[in-house]
Structure 1
Amino acid sequence: MRFLRSKRGNVAIIAALSLPALAGSLGLGAETATWYVNTKQMQNAADAAAIAAATNAASSYVAEARAITAHYGFTDGVGLVSVAVSNTATCPAGGSNCYSVTISRPQPLLLAQIVGYHGDTTIGKAPAKLITATAVALQSMVARPYCLLALGDNGVNTALVANGGPKADLSGCNVMSNTGAICNGHDLGADNGDAHTTNNGCGVVEHSNVAVVPDPYAALAVNIPPDPCNGNYPQEPQQKKDPSLPSQNQLAGIENWSGPIQMCGDVQLAGPVTVNTSGPTTLIIYNGQLDTNNQILQTTSGSALTIIYAGTNGSGPNGPYIHAPTGGGTLDVAAPTSGPWSGVVMYQDPGLTSGVDISAAGNSPTWDLTGAVYLPHSSVTFSGIVNKASNGKSCFAMVVDNITINGTASILEHGQCAQAGLAMPTGQVPSRGKLVL
């Protein structure tokens, strides 16, 4: 009777009945932890692979991404692993130019089935849980300033060419062609050589397929005053019977200038010229050249000058108008550091398309310039040395249509363009990828 009234076996019975559920719960907990660990590993691999693919941003981006996931132990097609890579993924901020990497692998179910969980896929015919991880990255862009920009608007397929210039030195500078670039025998020493199409040999680090850099200074032309010359543009005599330049077109000695100095036709230095300016000053030459004539034009300490070529694409009695500096001697000029012409030392009106070429940039005359030289339709041969103005900061940039660099072409001093008031030509270039999802 005492045996029949005993309750000692109740616990054992309850434990026996609860054991399957307990085992299933413990199994599900253990498997869930395993899924979490595997997902975390996959996510790390997907993150790294998406960044690599966005950084690569070339036709090999898929191989790049899968090489990274394999390094993490997830090789596409091995051990039921699948690695899907795309460069047309939707970006969280809009657009469909993001790079995505999705890693997936089914995990067989073990004790989790005891509690009735049958997974969301199968391995063979056995139930399994599909583990996935997805990362989305976008190639970031960074600003790159250029000391030399070839616009290539005149239809030249290779707007930047260097011919056998083993002593050329553009170190510390970046160069850019909005078409192609080719450097034969020497990389110019430029830190980065960029081209919109193909770059062949220009720059210590070469880049092709770079986005076009917009013309940075064309809008400044609105600051050029109207032509005051009434069609009268004296030109230098080419033959004995040609009239000489009037005295107002010949400069010598000390010039005290302020505001716009407007001159009609050719301007020639009849001796050394020292320019004192009161505030930012422009020398505007309408339908004429500046002939340095083996003399020097220099700005004094605290003075600043922008030399502007304006006018029309026409001809005078002695031939087509020349809108460029010519002659030996030296241009030793610092650009203004404020005002509309801040940082610009020489400017050709972008409306001028003829008489704008320069065949001996930096050489005849010598260029000791601080600031930007803007020659948007000019074919330039650069074979001299550009140094800073005696009374200016170390800053030089040049914008041309196309350029050929020969011999020892060098830009000796640079790096102070912010202090010189110049907003340098700047493009957006690809950088490392960054995760966005």
Structure 2
Amino acid sequence: MLKAFKKLWNDDRGNALILFGASLPLLVGAAGIATDTIQWTLWKRQLQRAADSGAIAGVYTRLNTDTEAAVRAAVNADLAINNHVGIALQSGFPAVTLPADDGDKEKQVRVVLQLSKALPFSSMFMEAAPNIVATATAASVPGGDQYCVIGLDKSASVTGVEISGSTFLDLGNCSLIANSKHKDKAASNGTSGNGQAGSGSYVKAASLAASGGVQYSNNWKVSDYDPNSPPADDPFAGVPSPTSCSKTVTISANANQGYPYDRTVAGGDVAGETVCLVGGGNGQNANTVAVKGAIKLQTGVTYVLNGQNLSMTDTSASLTCGGCTIAMTNFTNPANTGNIKITGGTVNLTAPTTGTYKGIAIYQDRLASDSGQKAQNHINGNSGQSITGAIYIPGRSILYNGGGNYVADSTVEGACMMLVAKRVEFGGNSKVKALDECETAGLPAPKAGKRVRLVA
């Protein structure tokens, strides 16, 4: 028997099988751990993406409805779409909190998700399945854009900024934004949404943004298209409408003076005064200040059109105002504020750099009734047009056809102008300087637009 065991001991046949059997537990263990690790990692990644998406959705909701209930509802709705783990969250999750603003990080939303799921191999050695936790914090943070054009209308059924026809628009380092929430064309190239649209126009801008969808064009030099952006603030929201005038001046013909005529409206006007302009006489519309001939307004005065329209249609007419504001309102019924129709002649306006209407060349009452139509206000320009300052029409739409025979990327000097209206449509030719080049013109200091980003 002993001899037989010695012979077996010295026999090397089958040693690979013996070694394989000895190492099999190690191989099975390594494969089991590897499989479980991959599954845990996948769940963790899916859970983190769900938390990230939920936090971002929460911030967008805070920007419009800043209540905890609304934010929680938004997070839950987003998770129903974007949580692909396929495992129920543990009780008490998602945990949603609204941290206080922290420097530039505003409207913060923190979302914590947690789940637990046993895995085949690991469960043989663990008393309980480990928790998988994902935390995400998003906030509204400053972007790099400064908006020279703002469409304030937040409706989901309108186009807030439209660039159509053969428009030439050069904003340089400035940007355009529509606060409209229209899902497809809050900011529009005027035709279809494909990249070949806008072929008849030229646009140069740092970005074209909107709270809703943005149409783009491969024919434009727009660095970034930013749909689903936070709405831009109204930079003149605190500027009041005038409520009275210190004197009244009639812009009309009389028996001895027919149109066209030249006149400097300066008779006794004093800087700091608020002067009402009225039209009428000699067959003219009493509700319209019609500019014919050359009208020059006195520097430093606020000129009010109380329930009056502003009209200039003659190609030989001109309206000049250095360092003053034309303010349109209606003292007794702001809804009936007049409109602007400048389709001929030359406009040369410069806003004041101090006072209540600092930086505003044309002001229209924010309570003016809105018909919902395009081009309630209409300003055409020619090569001699110059508006330095803001055109502020927060309650109605405007069609701005600009002025100046610019060519693409030309060195022609742009205007220090800002256009803020409920809805904006562009045509014609316009070249505008960036706001950081225009602080001496009284315009607001550049304020970067907002972006929703993950911050933790």
Q: TM-score range by the shorter chain?
A: 0.5 to 0.7
Structure-2 residue corresponding to 1:403: 424
For the 8 Å contact 1:99–1:136, the answer to whether it is kept is: yes
Instruction: Please say if 1:311 is aligned against 2:330.
Output: yes
Structure-1 residue corresponding to 2:271: 258
For the 8 Å contact 1:65–1:101, the answer to whether it is kept is: no
Consecutive unaligned residues of structure 1, counting only runs of 5 or more, are 1-40, 67-75, 110-121, 315-319
**1:189, CA displacement in angstroms?**
2.7
Q: Which amino acid aligns with 2:124?
A: G
Matches within 5 A, 1:36-47: none
**1:218, CA displacement in angstroms?**
4.8
**1:313, CA displacement in angstroms?**
9.6
**1:132, CA displacement in angstroms?**
5.1
Structure-1 residue corresponding to 2:97: 91
For the 8 Å contact 2:337–2:365, the answer to whether it is kept is: no
Structure-1 residue corresponding to 2:304: 284
Matches within 5 A, 1:43-82: 53=53
SS of residue matched to 2:244: coil
Structure-2 residue corresponding to 1:150: 151
**1:166, CA displacement in angstroms?**
6.4
Instruction: Please say if 1:182 is aligned against 2:188.
Output: yes
Structure 2 counterpart of 1:349, from 332, 356, 365: 365
Structure 2 counterpart of 1:191, from 183, 206, 210: 206
Structure-2 residue corresponding to 1:17: none
**1:154, CA displacement in angstroms?**
9.1
Larger radius of gyration: 1
Q: 2-side partners of 1:358 and 1:427: how far apart?
A: 28
Structure-2 residue corresponding to 1:382: 400
Q: 2-side partners of 1:60 and 1:321: how far apart?
A: 43
Q: 1-side partners of 2:332 and 2:421: how far apart?
A: 18
Q: What is the aligned-residue RMSD (CA, Å)?
A: 5.3
SS of residue matched to 1:199: coil
For the 8 Å contact 1:328–1:365, the answer to whether it is kept is: no
**1:373, CA displacement in angstroms?**
0.6
Q: 2-side partners of 1:340 and 1:401: how far apart?
A: 21
SS of residue matched to 2:203: coil
Structure-1 residue corresponding to 2:390: 372
Gap change, CA 1:160 and 1:62, over 3 Å in 2: same
Structure 1 counterpart of 2:228, from 198, 206, 209: 209
Gap change, CA 1:400 and 1:267, over 3 Å in 2: same
Gap change, CA 1:171 and 1:351, over 3 Å in 2: same
For the 8 Å contact 1:46–1:101, the answer to whether it is kept is: no
**1:64, CA displacement in angstroms?**
9.3
Q: After superposition, what is the alpha-carbon deviation per residue over 1:314-349, rounded to whole angstroms, capped at 9, x for unaligned?
A: 9xxxxx995426354433332222221111111112
Q: Which amino acid aligns with 1:147?
A: C
For the 8 Å contact 2:171–2:432, the answer to whether it is kept is: yes
Structure-2 residue corresponding to 1:169: 170
**1:158, CA displacement in angstroms?**
1.6
Q: 2-side partners of 1:201 and 1:98: how far apart?
A: 33
Structure-1 residue corresponding to 2:291: 268
Matches within 5 A, 1:412-423: 414-423=435-444
Q: After superposition, what is the alpha-carbon deviation per residue over 1:135-155, rounded to whole angstroms, capped at 9, x for unaligned?
A: 332233326542112233799
Q: Which amino acid aligns with 1:432?
A: R
For the 8 Å contact 2:56–2:109, the answer to whether it is kept is: no
**1:374, CA displacement in angstroms?**
0.8
Q: After superposition, what is the alpha-carbon deviation per residue over 1:365-414, rounded to whole angstroms, capped at 9, x for unaligned?
A: 95412211112234322222379xxxx99632111232222344443565
Q: How many percent identity over aligned positions? A: 17
Structure-1 residue corresponding to 2:284: none
SS of residue matched to 2:442: coil
Q: After superposition, what is the alpha-carbon deviation per residue over 1:155-197, rounded to whole angstroms, capped at 9, x for unaligned?
A: 9622322224464323322212232221132383332222233
Q: 2-side partners of 1:263 and 1:220: how far apart?
A: 18
Consecutive unaligned residues of structure 2, counting only runs of 5 or more, are 1-40, 61-76, 101-106, 181-185, 192-196, 279-288, 406-412
Q: 2-side partners of 1:260 and 1:385: how far apart?
A: 30
**1:101, CA displacement in angstroms?**
5.9
Instruction: Please say if 1:335 is aligned against 2:351.
Output: yes
Matches within 5 A, 1:107-126: 123-124=123-124
For the 8 Å contact 1:98–1:136, the answer to whether it is kept is: yes
Q: 2-side partners of 1:52 and 1:321: how far apart?
A: 47
SS of residue matched to 1:147: strand
Structure-2 residue corresponding to 1:221: 240
**1:433, CA displacement in angstroms?**
0.9
SS of residue matched to 2:229: coil
For the 8 Å contact 1:161–1:404, the answer to whether it is kept is: yes
Structure-1 residue corresponding to 2:130: 130
For the 8 Å contact 1:156–1:402, the answer to whether it is kept is: no
SS of residue matched to 1:123: helix
For the 8 Å contact 1:46–1:135, the answer to whether it is kept is: no
Structure-2 residue corresponding to 1:30: none
Q: Which amino acid aligns with 1:418?
A: E
**1:200, CA displacement in angstroms?**
2.0
Q: Which amino acid aligns with 1:90?
A: V
Structure-2 residue corresponding to 1:19: none
Q: Which amino acid aligns with 2:400?
A: F
Q: 2-side partners of 1:174 and 1:87: how far apart?
A: 40
Q: 2-side partners of 1:136 and 1:396: how far apart?
A: 40
For the 8 Å contact 1:306–1:341, the answer to whether it is kept is: yes
Q: 2-side partners of 1:426 and 1:292: how far apart?
A: 36
Q: 2-side partners of 1:372 and 1:210: how far apart?
A: 23
Q: 2-side partners of 1:243 and 1:370: how far apart?
A: 32
